[in-house]
């Protein structure tokens, strides 16, 4: 029961103190889950991000669910998921009830003008950290460049890119390992 509460509180902290969506949560998730609590390794967390990106739903919720399940099975997955979602539900409910009262207040608009670039910086930081760990060879760099160009110039779903990159990895890297030795 103690671990379930820890999962809930850790992910409630992540969900309550990061703005900008799932990708903006990644740096805080890394600090909290990998560095502070040791619930996952850096590689595991990157794998969870990747799986969370290509499965339906929000990447932060999916990642929380995976980590919770790893630590405490289905109850852990539920606790972590509720933890990461609960702060948003509370905050959005309060904002929705009050939005008419303050949406035109210049200070509120200015605050959001300041928050947006900070969120971009947090997402960029997460991308750099994942890139350092993931772009380890020419194969990975080529996949990154191909997906970046295609994502920029097409409207193809990100799930298609992730699926195709996974298949390509299996075909090209898996094929090298199966080659018969002389």
**Structure confidence at residue 149 (pLDDT):** 95
Q: Answer yes or no: are the C-beta atoms of 23 and 16 closer than 8 Å.
A: no
Q: Answer yes or no: are the C-beta atoms of 85 and 74 closer than 8 Å.
A: no
**Structure confidence at residue 103 (pLDDT):** 76
**Structure confidence at residue 21 (pLDDT):** 67
Question: Residue 146's closest CA among 167, 165, 174?
Answer: 165
**Structure confidence at residue 177 (pLDDT):** 55
Q: What is the pTM of this model?
A: 0.61
Q: Is the pLDDT of residue 175 over 70?
A: no
**Structure confidence at residue 33 (pLDDT):** 92
* pLDDT tens digit sequence for 12-22: 999 887 766 66
The domain spans of the chain are 2-134, 135-182
Q: How confident is the model at residue 181 (pLDDT cuts 50, 70, 90)?
A: low
* pLDDT tens digit sequence for 115-151: 889 888 888 888 888 888 889 889 999 999 999 999 9
Q: Is the pLDDT of residue 8 over 90?
A: yes
* pLDDT tens digit sequence for 48-95: 888 887 777 788 889 999 999 999 999 999 999 999 999 988 988 988
């Amino acid at each position: 029961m103690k671990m379930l509460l820890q999962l809930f509180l850790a992910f409630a902290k992540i969900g309550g103190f990061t703005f900008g969506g799932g990708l903006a949560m990644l740096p805080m998730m890394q600090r909290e889950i990998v560095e502070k609590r040791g619930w996952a390794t850096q590689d595991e967390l990157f794998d969870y991000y990747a799986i969370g990106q290509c499965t339906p739903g929000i990447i932060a919720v999916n990642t929380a669910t995976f980590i919770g399940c790893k630590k405490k099975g289905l109850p852990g997955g539920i606790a972590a998921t509720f933890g990461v979602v609960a702060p948003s539900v509370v905050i959005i409910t309060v904002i929705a009830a009050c939005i008419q009262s303050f949406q035109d207040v210049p200070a509120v608009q200015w605050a959001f003008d300041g928050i947006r670039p900070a969120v971009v910086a947090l997402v960029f930081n997460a991308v750099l950290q994942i890139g350092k760990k993931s772009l380890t060879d020419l194969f990975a760099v080529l996949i990154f460049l191909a997906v970046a160009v295609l994502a920029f110039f097409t409207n193809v779903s990100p799930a298609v890119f992730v699926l195709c990159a996974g298949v390509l990895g299996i075909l090209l890297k898996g094929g090298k390992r199966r080659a018969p030795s002389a």
